[in-house]
Amino acid sequence: MVHGGLLCTLFDTAAGCAVHSLLPAGVGFNTIEIKVSFLEALHADIGALEIRGRVAKRGSRVAFAEADARDGAARLVRSATTSLLIVGAAPPNCP
């Protein structure tokens, strides 16, 4: 079995990268919340997983994104939704 925390981390990364790809240079994000739905048990013999992230909606302060995991047969095995706080660039005199 694979611990759910591992996939939660992958989902957070995939969704965050999707949002980050839409932000200007110097602007970042922080995860506000994430919800993961475990649809099937994962075993070591399931093969490679494909994790995809996509932006559902981007506002000026908060973005909403989704991520999912599919097995080698393209079956959905996990999904996640997340909210991310958009954080502006730090002032030039900050370390």
* Cα–Cα distance for residue pair 2/31, rounded to 1 Å: 23
In this prediction, residue 49 carries a pLDDT of 86
Q: Cα separations (Å) of 31 from 17, 24, 43, 55, 62?
A: 11, 18, 28, 13, 10
Section 13-18 average pLDDT? 96
pLDDT in tens, 44-90: 777 788 999 999 999 989 999 999 999 888 888 889 999 999 998 65
In this prediction, residue 7 carries a pLDDT of 84
Confidence (pTM):
0.83
Fold of 4-87: Thiol Ester Dehydrase; Chain A (3.10.129)
